Amino acid sequence: MEHSLTIHGMPQARAASGAQEEFDEIFLRHRAQIFRFLLSLLRDRDAAETLTQECFLRAFRSWPSFRQEANPLTWLMRIAVNLTRDHWRNRKLQFWKRATAVDVSEVSDWLPGQGSNPEQRASVRQQIEAVWKVVEELSPRQRTVFLLRFVEEMELNEIAEATGLNLGTVKSHLSRGLEAIRTRLRRQS
Amino acid sequence: MKKSFELEPMDPELTKVLSQFRASAHAWSAQEYARVSLEPPAVTGRRWKLPHRWMMAVCLVITAVSVPVHREQVRHAQQVEASMEAQKNAQFLVDVDADVSQRVPASMSPLASLIASDEPGSEQITSGTSRQGERQP
């Protein structure tokens, strides 16, 4: 589905310039990926939608200061990661709000490969659910690193840049996540 | 995977599981992305949000401060009014006493001294003399 999402309310001077077109291009290219990262991190469609909008709004505001030599996706991911930190902090304060995250068993219903037989599909489903459960048990920072790596397929240095962590910490978080998945899969099999 | 994880080479089984996990997450996200109705982030709209919040906060503070102040002012005004009323009454009584004492004729003074102050009807006589005295120029 194609969305007609564009940034409105921009200053006239900028709208007339090429910066507007450049930003629109960045927006169209990366919005689905930012939404996917936020969705997998929060497992909450409404929150992912809101934070995706907020992410691009903040990006637009700081677009003039954005260094063109940097990777736009990494820059956007950094904004998204910061937004999720604020989101979690607010959630802690708003303890009366009901949990809106989708259950991992529900998320695991989305299976790749339609042609496999029911037994194989059940096995794959179990494995995917096991990974989601591990992801759920990780700390927010570890979860962020894990999803950037294994869902968004970002390079380690890009993850380090997006999260503000050093490379060693990123590797350490990934190692822990992978080890937890191995353990769970072993226990499951 | 674009590039294998540098720290530890992953076994094929784990690689496969993570690949399936990624595909599942992508499929789920694609489905959800199609269902969301992303509104354009309205910069002008957001500019109004902050002033609205501030205005609301300022109104609350003004209300919280002004209501007790107003109550205090009303109470103070009532006290002043009551005090003035009491003073006025007291002054009136003083004036009446002074007026009555001035208007008792000097010729009746010996008679007044003959009536004991605690005797019944003394007040009547006294007031009668005062009325009588009023008639005299």
Contacts of B24 in chain A (CB under 8 A): 107-108, 110-112, 128
**What token pair was written down for A176?**
């822990």
Burial of B114 (0-12, 13-18, 19+ CB in 10 A): exposed
Q: What is the DSSP string of B4-19?
A: --SSSPPPHHHHHHHH
More confident site: A178 or B105: A178
More confident residue, A132 or A121: A132
pLDDT digit string, tens, across residues A53-96? 999 999 888 887 776 667 899 999 999 999 999 888 876 666 55
User: A35, A37, A136, A154: best mutation site toward chain B, by most B Cβ within 10 Å?
Assistant: A35
Question: pLDDT at residue A37 above 80?
Answer: yes
pLDDT digits (tens, 9 = 90+) for A125-184: 888 999 999 999 999 999 999 999 999 999 999 999 999 999 999 999 999 999 999 999
pLDDT for position B135: 47
Q: What does the pLDDT read at residue B42?
A: 44
The nearest alpha carbon in chain A to B1 belongs to A153
In this complex, do A110 and B44 lie within 8 Å of one another by their Cβ atoms? no
pLDDT of residue A110: 73
At A8, list the tokens. Answer: 């409105």
For residue A184, how many other CB atoms are within 10 A of its CB? 17
> Would you call B38 and A182 a contact, using CB atoms and an 8 Å cutoff?
no
Tell me the C-alpha distance between B23 and A110, whole Å: 8
Confidence (pLDDT) at B134: 47
- The beta-carbon contacts of A135-140 under 8 Å, at least 24 apart in sequence, are A135/A177, A136/A104, A137/A180, A138/A176, A138/A177, A138/A180, A140/A84, A140/A85, A140/A88
Please report the number of interchain residue pairs, chain A to chain B, with beta-carbon separation below 8 angstroms. 121
> How high is the pLDDT of residue B105?
66
The answer to whether A19 contacts chain B (CB < 8 Å) is no
**pLDDT at position A11 over 70:** no
Among A54, A76, A128, the residue to mutate for chain B (most B Cβ within 10 A): A128
Mean pLDDT of chain B: 73
Two structure tokens written together for B37:
């109705």
Query: ipTM, 2 decimals?
Result: 0.84
Question: Which chain A residues are within 8 Å of B8, Cβ to Cβ?
Answer: 175, 178
pLDDT tens digits for range B20-62: 999 999 999 998 898 887 654 444 444 455 567 788 888 899 9
Cβ A37 vs Cβ A80: under 8 Å: yes
Nearest to B40 among A8, A49, A171 (CB): A8
DSSP states of B59-92 as a string? HHHHHHHHHHHHHHHHHHHHHHHHHHHHHHHHHH
Cβ neighbours of A181 in B, within 8 Å: 14, 17-18
pLDDT of residue A157: 92
What is residue B120's predicted lDDT score, i.e. its pLDDT?
55
Q: Distance between CA atoms of A159 and B83, rounded to whole angstroms?
A: 78
More reliable by pLDDT, B56 or B2: B56
Q: Which residues of B touch A132 (CB under 8 A)?
A: 21
Closest Cβ opposite residue B7 in set A112, A132, A171: A171
The pTM of the whole model exceeds 0.95: no
Q: Assign B80 a pLDDT band (cuts: 50, 70, 90).
A: very high
Question: Would you call A182 an interface residue with chain B, using a CB distance cutoff of 8 Å?
Answer: yes
Residue A3 has pLDDT above 70, yes or no: no
Smallest Cβ–Cβ distance between B28 and the set A8, A110, A174 belongs to A110
Q: Which of A52, A132, A155 sits opposite B3 (nearest CB)?
A: A155
Structure tokens belonging to residue A122: 């059940």
The reported pLDDT for the residue numbered A162 is: 93
Looking at residue A93, what is its pLDDT?
A: 61
User: How close is the nearest chain A Cα to the Cα of B3, in Å?
Assistant: 8
B136 pLDDT above the threshold of 70? no
